Structures are given as C-alpha cells and as structure tokens.
Amino acid sequence: MKVEGRVAVVTGGGGGIGGAIAAGLVERGARVVVADLDEHAAQRVVATLEEKTPGSAVAVAADVSDDEHIRGLVERAETEFGPVDLYFANAGVTGVPGLEIEDSVWEQSFDVNLRAHIRAARLLVPRWVERGEGYFVSTASAAGLLTQIGSATYSVTKHAAVGFAEWLSVTYGDKGVRVSCLCPMGVNTPLLYSGDASGHALGELATRAVTTAGAVLEPADVAETVFAAMEEEHFLILPHPEVLEMYRNKGADYDRWLRGMRRYRQALEESTPTDS
C-alpha cells in the first residue's frame, strides 16, 4: 500500500504517535484529517503541516467515544479531500491502575480503546469492500499482546483492540481491506508518563515497567515503522522487535511466562524508591 494521493483520518492526532503519523502521511503525499479531543492540539499539528504543504490537512475536534463524532470525521474528510482510504484508530486512554475501579472508568477505556475502532470500521469497511480497497490501522500496544503491570483497564482493552483487528483481517482481508495493528512498548509521549502523575503506587509501577523493559522510542521513529509495515501490508507492527520474542515465550509456556511476570512485578516493587 502506497499512501501517496490517499485520504487519511488520524485520531489522537494532536501529538505523540498520531501527530507523527499525520506528518509522515503528508510528507508522503497524502491528505489528512487530524482529529483530537483537544482541538487546539490538532490545530497546532495542522498549522505545522500546512506551513510546509498547503492544503494537505485539516483539524477537527472529535471525541471518538461518540459515534456521531466518528461519522463527522469521515464526512469532513469526504468534503475536504474525497473518500477515506486510510483510517488510523490511534486515540487512546490509559485508564486507572488497580482493581477497585469504577465502572465508568472501565466504560471510558472500552469506548476509546476498543469501541471507537469498531464504530469506525462499521462505517468504513462496507465502503472499502465495495471499492475493493482500504486500510485500517489500529493502535493497540505491546500490552495487548503481553500485559500491562498496574493498569487492568489498559491491558484488557488493548488485548481487545488486537482481537478486533485480527477479526477484521480474517473476515475482510480477502476483500481488499488491509489491516495492521501497532503494538509498541515505551514511546516518549505524555501517555507513557501518566502513571507517574497519577499519585497511585501501581500507576508509578506501570510507568517503570514499560520504561525499564526496553528503549523508549520517539513518535517519529514509530511512525516510520508504521509506514514501512504498511508498504509490506504486515499485520503486526512492532517498533520494539523484542516484543515478538516475548510473545513467543508467552505462547510457548504460559505458566512459566506468568511466573516470570510476577517476578518482574515483584522486582519492580522492591526497587521502588521510598520517601525518606
């Protein structure tokens, strides 16, 4: 899949991975609707893109937990540029660490990290099947293949996002619909460090679990990996290649992997600095 001349929608595009993907799309000749809950953030990204390539992008304020907002994104893209070829379901929330979490927090996590993908696919996939092509890129996480120490909401909903992307590929992959699933570990964005800011011991543990597991990549590096994988139409996009070996170890001996993860969590807890 080449992105030149394509029309794309990027949710969570106001910065981080989404902003880097939007920039990479424009550099490769695509036209982009940059959507974000933070309208000002989306506008800042678009201002930078428009400065370099006028007419390449528009900013839209959107809450992807709202079906009408997603519909509005697609309609705006069609009005500005034409039918949507590429959809990057990138918006995400970390949720709250621990077990004693209110149902409303679980609902928000499912709405943003999973149902937003379902809503977009429900709208776009039938059109792509009719046209014979389209590309859906789901931003999940290595936590969707492995797990997330600290945050149950993040781990569970990212697993679900991976599962939905798999289902899309199995069901529509022979009908012209391409699907990729992005599963990075640590990326240098505010979301990575949100656990430290939570004031919750498990939140701090969640951040340390990711930052000590492998390199913390820059969003632009992740975006480059995304485009390279799309050109080859790979399903699983792993900016941290070591995740594949971890995933293989998990599948090879699940109980051993669980014991190892418990030891890792315990080691992190024991090494956590305490206030003097």
Tens of pLDDT, residue by residue over 182-226, are 999 989 887 766 655 656 666 677 777 777 777 899 999 999 999
Tokens found for residue 155: 């781990």
Distances (CA, A) of 80 to 4, 133, 146: 17, 20, 40
Indicate the helix (H) or strand (E) that contains 237: strand 236-237
Tokens found for residue 112: 């943003």
What is the pLDDT averaged over residues 105-121? 97
**Does 24 have pLDDT greater than 50?**
yes
* Residue whose token pair is 């540029």: 81
Q: How many other C-beta atoms are found inside a 10 Å radius of the C-beta of residue 29?
A: 13
254, burial (CB in 10 Å: exposed 0-12, middle 13-18, buried 19+): exposed
What is the pLDDT averaged over residues 124-150? 95
Which pLDDT does position 193 carry in this prediction? 66
Please indicate whether residue 193 is annotated as part of the active site. Answer: no
Contacts of 71 (CB under 8 A, 6+ apart): 123
Q: 135, 154, 172, 193: which is the annotated catalytic residue?
A: 154
DSSP annotation of 62: -
Amino acid at 99: L
Tokens found for residue 82: 């034409």
Alpha helices in the chain (DSSP H): 16-27, 39-52, 67-80, 103-110, 116-131, 152-172, 201-211, 219-232, 242-252, 254-270
Q: 10 or 187: which carries more pLDDT confidence? A: 10
Cα four-point dihedral sign 15, 190, 209, 216: positive
What is the pLDDT averaged over residues 228-247? 97
User: What is the pTM assigned to this prediction?
Assistant: 0.92
Q: Which among 66, 110, 60 is positioned nearest to 80, based on CA atoms?
A: 60
pLDDT band with cut points at 50, 70 and 90 for residue 232: very high
Percentage of residues of the chain with pLDDT beyond 90: 79
What is the pLDDT averaged over residues 237-255? 97
274, burial (CB in 10 Å: exposed 0-12, middle 13-18, buried 19+): exposed
Distance of CA 68 to the CA centre of its chain: 21
